[in-house]
Amino acid sequence: MEVDPRQYENIAINDNDIHNIVLSYLVHNCFKDTVESFVACTGIKHSADHFEDMEKRKRIFHFALEGNALKAIELTEQLAPDLLDKNRNLYFDLLSLHFVELVCSRKCTEALEFAQIKLTPFGKEQKYVEKLEDFMALLAYEEPEKSPVFHLLSLEYRQHVADNLNRAILGVYLSGSYFPSSTYTVPRNLFISHLFHLPINVTCWLLSQ
């Protein structure tokens, strides 16, 4: 159901809302230096611990993006111990990144052993069966880059997993403290839409990233 922007035309957006919107974006994307400057300029309250957490989250994001999934998993378990136990989809995706790196490095025997130990147990759940088949299919090709599931080797796939991991850690560790109440979601979308002259659907997509 599409939202009619006209119903929010008379809603006032105060400075605190604006500051929270901007800070939300900066924190999500781990722009630490910019966050520090923004906090100093606006006087908004921000715990010093959050800056350290942001650096840790940034490291985890880049490890995942680079395909170093095991390191990303290790650091995630330190920062948010229960996250991967509760989010099996995310855990599977991270393990799959390591499997892909082994395949790309032509370490097929090691990849197969890793899959048998770490990935195969997911096959007990139907929703993972097709994914497992796709990943295992990579082993059938001398040049996996030319396989029908070559997209699993792409930067876009790593970016997708890294983004999901970053979002999940932020959600657990910061408990949404940088975002205004969810009741402000639509006005926030409209505010940014007008501020940057973007279509409302584009704005909603940007804020969901």
3-state secondary structure the chain: CCCCHHHHCCCCCCHHHHHHHHHHHHHHCCCHHHHHHHHHHHCCCCCHHHHHHHHHHHHHHHHHHCCCHHHHHHHHHHHCCCHHHHCHHHHHHHHHHHHHHHHHCCCHHHHHHHHHHHHHHHHHCHHHHHHHHHHHHHHHCCCHHHCCCHHHHCHHHHHHHHHHHHHHHHHHHCCCCCCCCHHHHHHHHHHHHHHCCCCHHHHHHHHHC
> Per-residue confidence of the chain (209 residues) as pLDDT tens digits?
455 555 555 555 555 655 555 555 555 555 555 555 656 566 566 555 555 577 788 899 889 999 999 999 999 999 888 899 999 999 999 999 999 999 999 999 999 999 999 999 999 999 999 999 999 999 998 899 888 999 999 999 999 999 899 888 888 765 544 333 333 343 444 444 444 444 444 444 444 54
pLDDT attached to residue 194: 44
The pLDDT tens digits for 36-61 are: 565 656 656 655 555 557 778 889 98
pLDDT of residue 56: 83
In angstroms and rounded to an integer, the radius of gyration of the C-alpha atoms of the chain is: 20
| Residues 100 and 155: beta-carbon distance below 8 Å | no
Could you tell me the residue ranges of all domains in the chain?
14-46+179-209, 64-176
pLDDT of residue 13: 57
What contacts 24+ positions apart, CB below 8 Å, involve 36-43? none
CA distance 34 to 26: 7
